[in-house]
Amino acid sequence: MPNLIIIRHGQSEWNLENRFTGSTDIELTPNGEIEAQNAGRLIKRYPLDEAFTSVLKRAIHTLSIVLKEIDRVLLPVTKTPALNERSYGDLQGLDKLEMIKKYGEAQVLSWRRSYDIIPPHGESLKDTYDRVVPYYLKEIEPKLKENKNILIVAHGNSLRALMMYLEKISEQNIADVNLATGVPRLYEFDSGMFLTRATYVH
C-alpha cells in the first residue's frame, strides 16, 4: 500500500513580508528553514522511494533540508515547472494589505482563493490544476501504482490543486482549504489506488 506525502515549502521571504509571491523565485527565511527541518522530523518514520519538487528555489531548498533531516540525501529527485506556484501576474511582489486598500477585500480574496478567477495577467487555480494534475497522472501516479512511496515538496496553490483531485474537493470548497507552510500531509492508498486515508502528520 503506497504512501504519498505532500509538503508546502517553508516560509519564504515574501511570505514573511506579506507579499504576493507566485512564480517569483524567492528564498526561505531562517524560520522557513526551521519549518523544513520540523517537516523532515515528522516524516522520518515513513519510507520514501522518490521525491518531486518545482524548479523554484524555496521548494528545492525545503526538499534538500527535509532529505538531510531524514538521512536520505541521495533519494532520486525530479524537478519540474509543472509543480511551480501559480503566477499572480501584476500582483507579484506587491503587499497584500496595500492591494486590499486599493481593490477591496472581496476582490483580493477572489484573486487569492477562488478556483477560476484570474489575477491580472496571472494564473487562476484552475490554470494551475490543468498543469499539476495531468503531470501527477502521467509521472507520479504510475510510481504509486508500482508501490513506491513518493514525496512532493511544492507550493500552496500547486498542492491545493492536487488536493482537489485526490480528495475530490469541489471548486467552491477549495476556497476554504489552506495548506500551511512546512506541515506534511499524508495520503495512503490501497492496492487499487483507492484513497484510504488523508491526514496531516503531527
Domain ranges of the chain: 12-200
Site of grid cell 477585500? 105
Per-residue confidence (pLDDT) for residue 191, from 0 to 100: 85
CB burial string 160-195: b at 16+ within 10 A, e below? bbbbbebeebeeeebbeeebebbbbbbbebeeeeee
pLDDT at 50: 98
Longest dimension (CA), the chain: 51
**pLDDT above 90: percentage of residues in the chain:** 99
CATH number of 12-200: 3.40.50.1240
Report the pLDDT value the prediction gives residue 86, as an integer from 0 to 100. 97
Active site amino acids:
9, 85
Q: What is the pTM of this model?
A: 0.97
